Structure formats: structure tokens, C-alpha cells
């Protein structure tokens, strides 16, 4: 058996891309708590934006499921820290696995008119032997595919990138590089691909150029989509609320995008800072019965890549990155392998496109601008959005758009 040098890191990479089993009463709260994890991550990433990356786009689901796989290898302080960050708060790993498995199966079967794919793959350095019970748990719970490779091979990064590229329809290229593989013990990759046509598509003929007001008062011209439809909405100008929110369903309505726009003097920064699962549920509960609504939403496209080591450490997962403290003893199956496996790097890379198109058969459907509307949502200023599964409340993707042209 080849001996791995002490301190070999686990490189943990996630690829998140925008495009039955039922959950028990005990499992649904686990994923509602997971939304808290996603919103805390969003708060921190939004606050740390740079001038060349003003928008944020993440998949809490991708990150949660990937950390869930590694949670099965963790023990002691490492297990507790990861569970707390994920919002599992002491939930035994078997129950967490049941919830992960039920949610994945539910999402995959929820709506045949929406394309949803989820894949988990683990690549191990040749000569490494993992515990049989760990292998069986991640294979059964996450459907993970485990492969043995030589990370030192010069074409290995290209081979892995090719697999990710294929799984995400070419939207997440060049996820890893040869430099990432130095000292590698294992590489875990989660990919999610989602493509859904609007239940009520926008008519491209109604899209016009509109000024989008940025946080600093400047404006950029954006293609603004428009339609009047029967939709669930809350807040808005004159409501007394500091937000306007609309729920735009995909396909057969199992999945939807919620768009939340600040109103009046409220700002996106304030909206994000106050957002957690409880505040989010208040927005969901506030959605009224469907009413005729005028929706104006920019057509935009986002690419986002972010290392997550520092933000996850700040959230309480320092121990998992610490070579001297991390406990992933449930991973390795050979006592001769040197101690010290820890998370070396975490990264999420994603792509999102929002446009007028629905499904091919519905692309010609539209509503004349003359249609009367009793409510209005106009996203011509920085806003928050989330794509969710309505039954469980699980958030698949969440982001902030400060500049649709960036």
C-alpha cells in the first residue's frame, strides 16, 4: 500500500449550474434549517463583493449535499462543527442521510417538464483505500460514483474538467487545474443542472431597453422583459412594506423563482442582511392568492466562481480545514495511511441565464401589454432571487443582482 505524506488535503470542489419519494415531517425542517445556511453564506459573500464581481450566485443545495458526503467521514469536533454550520444541529448522520436521499429523489422526480440533473463523483488517489461503510453510505445516499485515479498524470485535470463540462452542458468549464492536485488525497465534485421553462413565458417582442438604477445612483441600460399574468405577489409601492416579491413558477409549478425587490428607501444590502430562513418564510407566507400582476424583470446572465475556505471557516468550520485537528477518520480504510487528511480547498462555480423563453411548445405564448394589472413588480434596481422547490421549501439556488450587465 502506497503511503500518503502527512497532511494530504481533501480538495473539495462544487459545481453549481442553473440550468416519488416524499419528505417526512421530520425531514422538511432539516432543509428549512439548511436555508439558514444558504442565507448566511449569501450574506457574507454579498458583503465581500469586489468591483469586478458585484453579483452573487450560489447553490446552497450543491454545497449542502457535498458537505453532507464529507460529513459521513467526519467524527468528533469536526462532525459537530460541520453539522452546526449546515443547520443539522446534532441530527444523527443516519437521519441526515435519509433527508438528503429523500430530497434528491423528490427533486429528480418532481416535474418531468423541468430538466433537473444531480451527480456526485469522488476521485481517489491510486493506492488509497476507503472504509467500506463510508463507501456504501455515500453510494446509497448520494448516488456517488467513486473512482481511483493518479492525480499526478498530466492530463488528469483535463479529464475531470471534461466530465464536469459534460454534466453541466458546457456551462462550467475548467473547474480544476493541475496545480489544485498537489498533495491531493481525494476530490469530491457535485454538479447540478437545472433548466426550466416559465409556466407563463415572456414575449420577446415586449422586451425593451430600460435604465437599471445601481446602488451608487448610476444607471445601466438593460433589456427589460415584461408581461401581465396571474401571479402570487406581496408588498410593493403603497403596501407599507419595504419590499415587493413575486413568485414565478416553472413548468408544472413544482419549482419557482422568487424575485424580491427593495421598495422606497430600502436597499438590497439591508434586505440581504436581514434575510434568514424565518424572514424568508415570512415572504413566502405573505404571497397572496394569484392576482393580475405586471412583472418587469431584466434578461440577464451570470457566471460566478468563488473559493469558500475563508467564509466557511468564519461560519464555524475552521476545524475541518486544520491539518492538526480535522477528524475524517471514517474515510480512510488503511491504518498505514498517514494522519492529517483535511479539506484543502473548496470552490463553487456556477452559471445562470434568465430570459424570456419557456418550453419550446410554449415559446409563442404571450400577453398583450394592454392587459389590466392590479399589482406591479419592477426589478429595475438591485434585487434578490431564489429558485426553490415549493413542497419542501428547499432553496436550490440563490443570488443577488446588483448589475445585470456585469
Task: Please answer whether residues 405 and 220 qualify as being in contact, where contact means their C-beta atoms are separated by less than 8 angstroms.
Answer: yes
The residues spanned by each domain of the chain are 9-196+302-352, 204-298+358-401
> How much helix, strand and coil, in percent to the nearest 5, is found in the chain?
30, 30, 40
pLDDT range class, residue 236, cuts 50, 70, 90: confident
pLDDT range class, residue 320, cuts 50, 70, 90: very high
Question: What integer best gives the mean pLDDT of the chain?
Answer: 83
Task: Please answer whether residues 146 and 139 qualify as being in contact, where contact means their C-beta atoms are separated by less than 8 angstroms.
Answer: yes
Residue 370's pLDDT is 38
**166, pLDDT greater than 80:** yes
Residue of higher predicted confidence among 332 and 299 = 299
Residue of higher predicted confidence among 394 and 283 = 283
Residue 9's pLDDT is 59
**210, pLDDT greater than 90:** yes
Average pLDDT value for residue range 383-399: 91
pLDDT range class, residue 26, cuts 50, 70, 90: low
Q: What is the pTM of this model?
A: 0.88
Tell me the pLDDT tens digit for each residue of 70-83: 899 899 999 999 99
Domain 204-298+358-401 sits in CATH at: 2.30.39.10
**4, pLDDT greater than 60:** no
- Within 8 A by CB and 6+ apart from 144, the residues are 69, 120, 121, 122, 138
Residue 403's pLDDT is 96
- Domain 9-196+302-352, CATH among 1.20.140.10, 2.40.180.10, 3.30.497.10, 3.40.50.460: 3.30.497.10
Tell me the pLDDT tens digit for each residue of 326-374: 998 888 766 545 556 888 888 888 888 899 873 222 212 222 333 344 6
**400, pLDDT greater than 90:** yes
As a whole number of angstroms, the distance between CA 30 and CA 37 comes to 11
Amino acid at each position: 500500500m502506497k503511503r500518503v505524506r502527512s497532511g494530504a488535503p481533501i480538495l473539495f470542489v462544487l459545481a453549481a449550474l442553473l440550468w416519488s419519494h416524499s419528505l417526512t415531517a421530520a425531514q422538511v425542517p432539516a432543509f428549512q434549517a439548511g436555508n439558514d445556511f444558504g442565507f448566511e453564506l449569501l450574506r457574507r459573500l454579498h458583503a465581500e463583493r469586489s468591483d469586478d464581481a458585484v453579483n452573487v450566485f450560489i447553490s446552497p443545495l450543491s454545497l449542502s449535499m457535498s458537505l453532507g458526503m464529507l460529513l459521513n467521514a467526519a467524527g468528533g469536533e469536526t462532525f459537530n462543527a460541520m453539522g452546526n454550520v449546515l443547520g443539522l444541529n446534532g441530527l444523527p448522520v443516519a437521519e441526515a442521510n435519509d433527508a438528503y436521499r429523500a430530497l434528491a429523489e423528490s427533486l429528480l422526480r418532481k416535474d418531468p417538464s423541468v430538466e433537473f440533473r444531480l451527480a456526485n463523483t469522488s476521485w481517489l488517489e491510486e493506492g488509497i483505500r476507503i472504509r467500506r461503510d463510508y463507501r456504501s453510505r455515500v453510494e446509497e445516499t448520494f448516488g456517488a460514483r467513486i473512482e481511483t485515479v493518479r492525480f499526478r498524470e498530466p492530463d488528469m485535470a483535463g479529464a475531470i474538467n471534461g466530465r464536469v463540462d459534460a454534466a453541466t452542458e458546457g456551462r462550467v468549464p475548467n473547474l480544476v487545474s493541475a496545480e489544485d492536485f498537489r498533495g491531493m488525497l481525494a476530490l469530491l465534485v457535485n454538479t447540478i443542472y437545472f433548466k426550466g421553462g416559465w409556466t407563463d413565458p415572456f414575449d420577446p417582442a415586449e422586451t425593451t431597453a430600460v435604465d437599471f438604477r445601481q446602488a451608487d445612483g448610476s444607471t445601466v441600460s438593460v433589456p427589460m422583459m415584461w408581461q401581465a399574468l396571474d401571479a402570487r405577489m406581496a408588498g410593493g409601492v403603497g403596501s407599507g412594506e419595504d419590499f415587493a416579491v413575486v413568485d414565478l413558477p416553472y413548468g408544472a409549478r413544482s419549482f419557482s423563482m422568487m424575485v424580491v425587490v427593495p421598495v422606497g428607501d430600502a436597499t438590497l444590502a439591508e434586505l440581504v442582511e436581514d434575510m434568514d430562513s424565518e424572514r424568508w418564510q415570512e415572504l413566502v407566507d405573505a404571497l397572496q392568492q394569484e392576482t393580475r400582476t405586471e412583472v418587469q424583470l431584466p434578461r440577464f446572465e451570470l457566471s460566478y466562481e468563488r473559493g469558500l475556505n475563508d467564509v466557511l471557516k468564519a461560519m464555524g468550520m475552521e476545524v475541518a480545514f486544520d491539518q492538526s485537528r480535522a477528524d475524517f477518520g471514517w474515510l480512510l480504510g488503511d491504518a498505514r495511511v498517514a494522519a492529517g487528511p483535511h479539506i484543502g480547498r473548496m470552490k463553487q462555480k456556477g452559471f445562470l441565464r434568465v430570459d424570456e423563453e419557456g418550453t419550446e411548445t410554449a415559446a409563442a405564448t404571450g400577453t398583450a401589454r394592454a392587459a389590466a394589472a392590479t399589482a406591479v413588480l419592477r426589478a429595475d434596481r438591485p434585487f434578490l432571487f431564489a429558485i426553490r422547490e415549493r413542497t419542501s421549501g428547499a432553496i436550490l439556488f440563490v443570488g443577488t443582482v446588483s448589475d445585470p450587465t456585469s
